[in-house]
Amino acid sequence: MSVLGERVAAGLKFPTGFVWGASTAAFQIEGSTTVDGRTDSSWDAFCRRPGAIAGGDTGDPAADHYRRYREDVALMRELGLGTYRFSLAWSRVRPDGGKVNPPGLDFYDRLVDELLANGIRPWATLYHFDLPQALEADGGWANRDTAYHFAGFAEAAAERLGDRIPLWSTLNEPWCSAFLGYGSGVHAPGRQDPEAAVAAAHHLLLAHGLGMAELRRHAPAAESGITLNLYPVQGPDPEAVRKIDGLMNRLFMDPVLLGRYPEDVLADLAPFGFGELVRDGDLGLISTPIDMLGVNYYRGYEVTREPVPGSEPAGPEWIGAGEVRFIPDPDAPRTDSGWQVEPGKLTDTLVSVHRDYPHIPLYVTENGAAYPDVTDADGQIADKDRIAFLDAHLRAAHAALARGVDLRGYFYWSLLDNFEWAEGYAKRFGLVHVDYETQRRTLKQSADFYAKVIAANALPGL
């Protein structure tokens, strides 16, 4: 461990019992995509499309976690993580969306037991973007039947693991699955079909409700919920803010927590048949009470409909959001992904959920940044930008606590450098550096900093 983090003392204390963790996703770290009965996911197929992934990268070997999970759990223990959030690969558990595959479930059995043996609580996410390709061939999330296939997957996972996993998320970021996968086509399955994107959004939420029923049945003592990527949307133009906030946030928050879709968003999506998708009983399932909400936060959105030099559309052209533009801040620091670093908007996001919706415990289930790794003269990876990012966002989380938000925990994204979707291996988000040639793991100085924060349950004084 380096001297970084030695200054961590009782500067800003977090509540007793505050959960400290890190998150990953199966396709991004596991590798071993053809072993023990696993079949293709939509991401395996997408990676084979020319030009789909930077550098022509694929999900194998990724970080080789399938074979190196014990080593990775040992790193978690060294960091002092209290909880580890990971996802289950549907194509391992029920290959092609069909029968249960015991060897695939055996892997998660081993992982969960290893975590528990090291004093780390498992948090399982059932779905993090990797739909079995056989189900995608039948229409994927645009097909209502996929939601019922998901219920079967949830049943198999919870029946086998529900006695040992105390925290579950049904879905991770359904906005991405629907609109990046079926609308813009930059994520798997790479479709550009407005009607399919809108249908996918509803069917994903229906799958959440059906999955909650299986979790209640087979893991009744667990805390279960959903994880959404939320964005504070601000700007000088109320109509621009309304449209993007509706598409990004309220389309998913309102049915889950209020039992209804927002009327203005229904009107925006009516030309794409959204109203015809919602059947009697659907919203009752979708609004099944949840125990907690996971909030993934990376950046905010400031938008306008006025021409802005050098700006990009803030939403898909096909819903009229292409007329809305981001307002860039030329002075804001940016990550290696080009995203503005806006820690204060994490506070805004958490406070708005606390203010605008019925009370629900919140967790920051993802927050992180990609930066190039630089090795210093001592052989250490001195990722000072990531330390600054982490420090600033933890202060923002603490500020939300000070304003009365029921925030229960924070999870950094990601534990390991990994396959970063369409960016392939070009972007590094990890606390742990992965040499993809040798699979050697190296703790970065940000890992040292985070470990010291966890041990103190506090941020350093300024």
- CATH number for the domain that contains residue 16: 3.20.20.80
> How many domains does the structure of the chain reveal?
1
Q: Which residues contact 267 (CB under 8 A, 6 or more apart)?
A: none
Q: Which residues contact 55 (CB under 8 A, 6 or more apart)?
A: 424, 425, 426
Look at residue 131 in the predicted model and tell me its pLDDT.
98
Q: How many CA atoms lie within 13 A of 146 on its CB side?
A: 25
Residue 144 is assigned to a structural domain of this protein: yes
- Rounded to the nearest 10°, the torsion over CA 376, 378, 380, 383 is -30
Q: What is the pTM assigned to this prediction?
A: 0.96
Residue 461 is assigned to a structural domain of this protein: no
List residues with catalytic annotation: 173, 366
Q: Which strand (E) or helix (H) includes residue 225?
A: strand 223-229
Residue 180 is assigned to a structural domain of this protein: yes
Angle at 54 between CA 53 and CA 58, to 5 degrees: 50
List the structure tokens of 370.
Answer: 């990609």
Residue 193, Ramachandran bin (φ over 0: left; ψ between -120 and 50: alpha; else beta): beta
With tokens 């925006």, the residue in question is 268
Angle at 143 between CA 140 and CA 144, to 5 degrees: 125
Look at residue 462 in the predicted model and tell me its pLDDT.
59
Alpha-helical (H) ranges within 301-356 are 344-356
Q: Which residues contact 54 (CB under 8 A, 6 or more apart)?
A: 422, 423, 424, 426
Q: Which residues contact 353 (CB under 8 A, 6 or more apart)?
A: 230, 253, 293, 295, 360, 362, 405
Look at residue 7 in the predicted model and tell me its pLDDT.
39
With tokens 């990876």, the residue in question is 381
Mean pLDDT by 10 residues, the chain (462 residues): 38 95 98 98 98 95 98 98 98 97 98 98 98 98 98 98 98 97 96 96 98 98 98 94 95 98 96 95 98 97 86 74 84 94 97 97 98 86 97 98 98 98 97 96 97 96 66
How far apart are alpha carbons 164 and 67 in whole angstroms? 21
Residue 36 is assigned to a structural domain of this protein: yes
Q: How many CA atoms lie within 13 A of 124 on its CB side?
A: 25
In one letter, which amino acid is 436? Y
- Please count the residues of the chain: 462
CA–CA distances in Å: residue 131 to residues 45, 178, 246: 10, 12, 26
Residue 284 is assigned to a structural domain of this protein: yes
Residue 368 is assigned to a structural domain of this protein: yes
List the structure tokens of 243.
Answer: 């449209």
Count CB atoms within 10 A of the CB of residue 102: 12
Angle at 252 between CA 249 and CA 254, to 5 degrees: 90
Look at residue 387 in the predicted model and tell me its pLDDT.
97
Look at residue 239 in the predicted model and tell me its pLDDT.
93
Cβ 283 vs Cβ 259: under 8 Å? yes
Look at residue 320 in the predicted model and tell me its pLDDT.
67
Count CB atoms within 10 A of the CB of residue 5: 20
Q: Which domain holds residue 388?
A: 12-456
Residue 2 is assigned to a structural domain of this protein: no
Cβ 37 vs Cβ 104: under 8 Å? yes
Cβ 412 vs Cβ 450: under 8 Å? yes
Residue 286 is assigned to a structural domain of this protein: yes
Cβ 122 vs Cβ 88: under 8 Å? no
Residue 227, Ramachandran bin (φ over 0: left; ψ between -120 and 50: alpha; else beta): beta
How far apart are alpha carbons 315 and 207 in whole angstroms? 25
Cβ 150 vs Cβ 156: under 8 Å? no
